[in-house]
């Protein structure tokens, strides 16, 4: 019998549900054992936190692992090794395909799906968004900008939008920005784990505070934040002229989309870029925007950075 056959053939006395239950609690018991041995935490407290009884834990310590438990443990060792190599981008389908090629033996997708779910191993790549009914906009404006992306002075025309990023744990970070068409600078940005009205309102208010007296045309898409009464109130309170992209016309906000593409190509999608936590991801975004505004020379700005070009106008 080959190594692959040993790992993936069903063990005698196979009981799917009972085995998975044992695996699920085994991960808790394993954590309790490691914390008790390495950190000296009391078993009783650890069991209470993990939601298991001390009797069950000590029974597990004395157990003789079944053949199927050994198969599952060996399989998950391989899965973790592969996930580390590919930086977490494999889901259970691609993982099964990869292991099948690597081991020369078919790996059961359903089995792999159940085990990866129990051990909380998920792909970090973007998933298809669930479609939901579009909300009725509270306020809509015409496309007054009309793709005229030229500006003769700072704070004449601003663009705004939101994009999202995901860290290695699957936690999202939403970046809301205000972009000046004159010097291609990021006037202000905010990052939040929530994509809500408050994120957009705070971005806009802080951008206006950073540029006292500015009354630019502000162009956005028709996202729910920008069509809300709250955003309209900010626009009216500061005497701004609001312009909106047409439905499904992302090119109406082209330079803003272009900046997001540049950020992701030059930072987020780099082969060596890996963001283990939300905080790591936020730091990387902030670092890149500082670099973009102050150090990234642009040919169409006469070889200056956005901030140098802006200061030159001032």
Q: Go through the domains of the chain in sequence order and give each one's CATH number.
A: 3-118 (no CATH), 157-313 (3.30.420.10)
* Plot region of 108 (φ>0 → left; ψ -120 to 50 → alpha; else → beta): beta
Selection from 112, 78, 76, 106 nearest residue 93 by Cα: 112
CA distance 158 to 200: 14
For the chain, the distance separating the N- and C-terminal CA atoms, rounded to the nearest angstrom, is 77
Lowest mean pLDDT among 62-66, 101-105, 184-188, 256-260: 62-66
pLDDT digits (tens, 9 = 90+) for 280-313: 999 999 999 999 999 998 888 988 999 999 999 8
pLDDT digits (tens, 9 = 90+) for 215-241: 999 999 999 999 999 999 999 999 999
Helix or strand run (H / E) with residue 117:
helix 109-118
State the pLDDT at residue 104.
87
Name all contacts of 51-56 with Cβ < 8 Å and 24+ positions apart.
52/25, 52/28, 56/25, 56/29
If pLDDT is split at 50, 70 and 90, which confidence band does 135 have?
A: low
| Mean pLDDT on 204-225 | 95
pLDDT digits (tens, 9 = 90+) for 20-37: 445 556 777 878 888 888
State the pLDDT at residue 22.
52
């Amino acid at each position: 019998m080959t190594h692959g056959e040993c790992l993936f053939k069903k063990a005698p006395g196979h009981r799917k549900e009972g085995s998975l239950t044992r695996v699920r609690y085994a991960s808790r018991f394993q954590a309790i054992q490691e914390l008790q041995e390495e950190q000296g935490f009391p078993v009783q407290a650890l069991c209470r936190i993990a939601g298991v009884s001390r009797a069950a834990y000590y029974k597990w310590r004395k157990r003789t692992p079944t053949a199927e438990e050994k198969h599952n443990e060996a399989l998950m060792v391989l899965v973790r090794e592969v996930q580390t190599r590919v930086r977490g981008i494999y889901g259970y389908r691609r993982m099964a395909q990869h292991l099948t090629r690597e081991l020369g033996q078919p790996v059961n997708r359903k089995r792999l799906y159940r085990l990866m779910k129990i051990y909380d191993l998920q792909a970090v790549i973007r998933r298809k968004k669930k479609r939901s009914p579009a909300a009725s906009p509270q306020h809509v404006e015409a496309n007054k900008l009309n793709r005229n992306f030229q500006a003769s002075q700072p704070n004449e025309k601003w663009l705004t939008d939101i994009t999202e990023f995901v860290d290695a744990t699957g936690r999202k970070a939403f970046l809301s920005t205000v972009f000046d068409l004159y010097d291609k600078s990021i006037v202000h940005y905010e990052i939040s784990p929530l994509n809500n009205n408050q994120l957009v309102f705070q971005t806009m208010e802080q951008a206006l505070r950073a540029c006292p007296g500015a009354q630019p045309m502000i162009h956005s898409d028709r996202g729910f934040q920008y069509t809300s009464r709250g955003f309209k109130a900010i626009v009216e309170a500061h005497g701004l002229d609001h312009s909106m992209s047409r439905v499904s016309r992302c090119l109406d906000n082209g330079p803003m989309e272009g900046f997001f593409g540049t950020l992701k190509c030059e930072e987020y999608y780099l082969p060596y870029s890996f963001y283990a936590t939300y905080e790591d991801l936020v730091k990387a975004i902030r670092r890149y925007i500082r670099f973009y505004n102050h150090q990234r020379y642009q040919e169409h700005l006469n070889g200056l950075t956005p901030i140098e070009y802006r200061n030159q106008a001032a």
